[in-house]
Chain A
């Protein structure tokens, strides 16, 4: 009984926080499914891809890659280029995902941009089990993505309602989380480092490949300015709890 109520409480705490992701994944997942359908793939493709890859931008790229000729080395490189940012999400979640037991491999497996933004920024409510809270957040997000892709893949071009622009929910979510992060800090050293690195690299390297130079830049700057950043007091042990 107590174990069940612990799960139920965690689910109730997690669900409202995943609503923005439900909107964003709901629309993006359906668009992905429709694109695959229109490109001539049956619904199993988008469903299995969403289940196993769990990565929005890569899957959208895959729609065109799957219609080109077979190029395994290129696929490895493209995937690395697009997914390298997950290394940093992992480093950010090392401490938080500690002690989550058998749930941990699943939490890591489905750690997307969106799930990261919830589990990294959300404080765990009083009395809620951390492991189950992270688990349900991840599971719900994963489920939205898979179900939306399945529906899109089944309905295909029959889907005619105008969802153009609905995917902005995701951009808005990142904007709000970034804003909250800014309001929480006294100094904004690392936010500034992130913003400047991304903008400069975007201008220099262009939209397709700027992520990896950005990450290298951030790493170098965070290393150089470690002393002043630590002294700013924005990253005390309980900062993100």
Chain B
């Protein structure tokens, strides 16, 4: 059962539409013409560190350290990224070191 052209277009339009709705919703509910409720202002600030923690876990979600060596390259590369960043505090350098380390591990070691 292959989709017809119009069904493909509808599928893509649904994905774009729902994504757009989710992105606009907070801005519509808490419009800038009225002051944002204090609790939402608090959430806005307090959420940021929690969201970055969630994004890190999300990126590493398929790297289970308990299953084989599957997560090992990821964790080594994350450790390298952190070490380089604590050493020099240069975002691009830390990224380059971590990514290069991961690519080498993946292509030549694992």
Contacts and interface: CB of A to CB of B under 8 A. Distances in A.
Interface string B1-40: 1111001101111111011101111110010100010011
Contact of B11 (A72, A83, A93, A165): A72
Contacts of A90: 23-27
Interface of B: 1-4, 7-8, 10-16, 18-20, 22-27, 30, 32, 36, 39-62, 73-74, 77-78, 81-82, 85-86, 91-92, 94-95, 98-99, 102-103, 105-107
A153 to B, nearest CB: 14
Interface of A: 19-20, 23, 45, 48-49, 52-55, 58-59, 62, 65-70, 72, 75-76, 79-80, 83-95, 97-99, 104-105, 108-109, 111, 113, 116-117, 120-121, 162, 164-166, 168-179, 181-182, 185, 188, 190-195, 197-199, 202, 207, 210-211, 214-215, 218-219, 222, 226, 229-230, 235, 239-240
A108 B20 CA distance: 8
Say what secondary structure dominates the interface of chain B. helix
Given A54-B19, A80-B22, A165-B106, A235 B45 contact: yes
B105 to A, nearest CB: 8
Say what secondary structure dominates the interface of chain A. helix
Contact of A214 (B54, B74, B92, B94): B54
